[in-house]
Amino acid sequence: MFPLCPGPPSAQLGTTPNIKHIVVGRCYNYITVVNPGLRFDCEDIWRQFEESVVRQSSFNVTVDYHRMFYATPQTWPCDRCLFWSKTKRLVHSYTAVERHFWTLEDTLVGYMFNDLVWCGQEEDSGFDFSSCPAWAACRHHPVYSLWRQASQNFAEMACGNITVLLNGSISNAFNRKSMFGSVELDGLDPRRVDYVNIKVVTDLEGPFIESCSQGSVVDLIQILRSRGFRWTCTDNDETLMILQCIQNPKQSSCQKCANSFSLRRSLTFN
């Protein structure tokens, strides 16, 4: 059985226009501004990527990116890895505030390919800019294959305390078919990882479907236990709730918070 993946909305579109300029530009930005001092050959990385995708004439074969990964070796410190599932938007506002966390998009490969779409053509040797296969064929989808291989590497490297952010407003917050549930969880090594810290966050106004003691999160905890991981689980972490209030201050559950801020401000200014 292969996982069926919920696709990005752009899955039916063709390769992102100007993909080469975007990827090579992001690579230079990463090694020059984001992480100065890293020595990578951005042109070579692009070449390895392009060759993997365009050499692949059949959509029935999984694209093998190992040469590109070989050109982008990267290690990261323990205690920083942040995994997520169905919380992408929130997770990136969270890491913007909690800066010690690292998601896959903070690694070079994740940074270069985030939000892009690509595929080769059956008969031609270039990218297909007019359409790419539907995400339903995801096991062989070139975008899915890259995230799968990147996610596998990311999980295998994780060490110390790691964190997982799950969405408590959907059922199956922990989904065995998701990238986290099918690839990353199995890639984690209990000898390298001290604690798995689960954070379940709901939308401010609900629905409140899953929590640390309810739904699929309980299954995740069971799997972690059986594999010998130590774990913690937190419902509605305060920082995550405040971040949601900043994005949507009119929500009624934010009013208490807003009132206490305005009270404090009036105390300061009066």
Site residues (vs ligand N1C, CB under 6 A)? 5-6, 8, 83-86, 88, 103-105, 110, 114, 143-144, 147, 151, 154, 178-180, 184
Distance CA 268, CA 17 (A): 52
Residue 217's CB is within 10 A of a number of other CB atoms, namely 22
**Which of 45/109 has CB closer to ligand N1C?**
109
Examine the residue annotation and report whether 27 is marked as an active-site residue of this protein: no
Choice among 159, 212, 233, 245 that is catalytic: 159
Examine the residue annotation and report whether 78 is marked as an active-site residue of this protein: yes
**Which of 42/173 has CB closer to ligand N1C?**
173
Find the Cα–Cα–Cα–Cα dihedral 90, 63, 150, 224, rounded to 10°. 90
CB within 8 A of 162, min separation 6: which ones? 79, 81, 82, 83, 188, 193, 195, 196, 197
SS3 161: strand
Backbone angles phi, psi at 114, to 5 degrees: -55, 130
Distance CA 259, CA 249 (A): 11
**Which of 188/254 has CB closer to ligand N1C?**
188
Task: Output the smallest distance, CB 108 to ligand N1C, in A.
Answer: 13
**Which of 86/199 has CB closer to ligand N1C?**
86
Distance CA 5, CA 136 (A): 7
Task: Output the smallest distance, CB 152 to ligand N1C, in A.
Answer: 10
Task: Output the smallest distance, CB 244 to ligand N1C, in A.
Answer: 17
Distance CA 113, CA 117 (A): 8
**Which of 220/254 has CB closer to ligand N1C?**
220
Letter string b/e over residues 85-111, b meaning 16 or more CB atoms within 10 A of that residue's CB: bbbeebbeebbeeeeebbbbbbbbbbb
Active site residues: 78, 159
